[in-house]
């Protein structure tokens, strides 16, 4: 699962330290998430999405797949 936290955070000019402060976690924890070392819990993912004003789909890089496309497989 490729996480887009760093890209979205940087586009909004929010530091790791600021994101961590708003979530009540350490900057090192945010760094580990951004580097793919630390998996995110759903609670943290929702918190990050709230702080960065993005959807969980955006945060995880999920692409929308139409149901019709899935039926034709």
The predicted structure's pLDDT at residue 70: 59
The predicted structure's pLDDT at residue 73: 54
The predicted structure's pLDDT at residue 63: 79
Question: Which residue stretches of the chain have pLDDT < 50?
Answer: none
- Classify residue 32 by burial, with Cβ atoms within 10 Å: 0-12, 13-18, 19+: middle
- Longest distance between any two alpha carbons in the chain, whole Å: 46
Q: pTM of this prediction? A: 0.81
The predicted structure's pLDDT at residue 61: 85
Least Cα distance to 2 among 28, 26, 31, 35 occurs for 35
Contact 40, 48 (CB under 8 A): yes
């Amino acid at each position: 699962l490729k996480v887009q936290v760093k890209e979205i955070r940087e586009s909004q000019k929010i530091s790791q330290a600021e994101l961590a402060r708003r979530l009540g976690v350490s900057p090192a924890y945010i760094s580990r998430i951004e580097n793919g070392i630390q998996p995110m819990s759903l609670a943290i993912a929702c918190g990050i999405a709230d702080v960065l004003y993005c959807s969980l789909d955006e945060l995880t890089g999920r692409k929308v797949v139409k149901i019709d496309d899935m039926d034709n497989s």
